[in-house]
Amino acid sequence: MEPVCRYLGLVEYEGTGYLGWQVQPQGPTVQEKLVEAASKLFGRSTWVTVPSRTDAGVHARGQVIAFDAPLLPLNRVLLGINTYLPSDIALKDLVLVPPDFRVKETQGKEYRYQIWQSPYPSPFRLKDHWWSTKPLDLNALETAAQEFVGTHDFSAFRGRGCQSTSAQKSIFAVKLLVTPEVNGQIVTLVISGDSFLRNMVRIMVGTLVEIAWGQKPQGTVAKALGSGQRSHTGQTAPAHGLWLEKVFYDPDPFVTRGLKNGQGDWGQNDPALVSKSFFV
Model pTM score: 0.91
pLDDT, residue 274, reads 45
Tell me, which fold does domain 108-244 have in CATH? Alpha-Beta Plaits (3.30.70)
What is the Cα–Cα distance from 277 to 279, expressed in whole angstroms? Answer: 6
Interval 9-26: pLDDT, tens: 999 999 999 999 999 989
CB-neighbour burial class of residue 179 (10 A; exposed 0-12, middle 13-18, buried 19+): exposed
What is the Cα–Cα distance from 18 to 257, expressed in whole angstroms? Answer: 30
Parts of the chain with a pLDDT under 50 = 260-268, 271-280
Q: Is 55 noted as a catalytic residue in this protein? A: yes
Residues 6+ apart with CB under 8 A from 264: none
Catalytic residue from among 55, 100, 250, 265: 55
pLDDT, residue 48, reads 98
Residues 6+ apart with CB under 8 A from 25: none
Residues 6+ apart with CB under 8 A from 38: 46, 48, 67, 69, 81
pLDDT, residue 259, reads 54
Residues of the chain with CATH 3.30.70.660: 108-244
Residues of the chain with CATH 3.30.70.580: 4-105+250-272
What is the Cα–Cα distance from 157 to 90, expressed in whole angstroms? Answer: 31
Q: What is the DSSP letter of 261?
A: B
From the options 3.40.30.10, 1.10.10.10, 3.30.70.580, 3.10.20.30, give the CATH code of 4-105+250-272: 3.30.70.580
SS3 (DSSP) at 148: helix
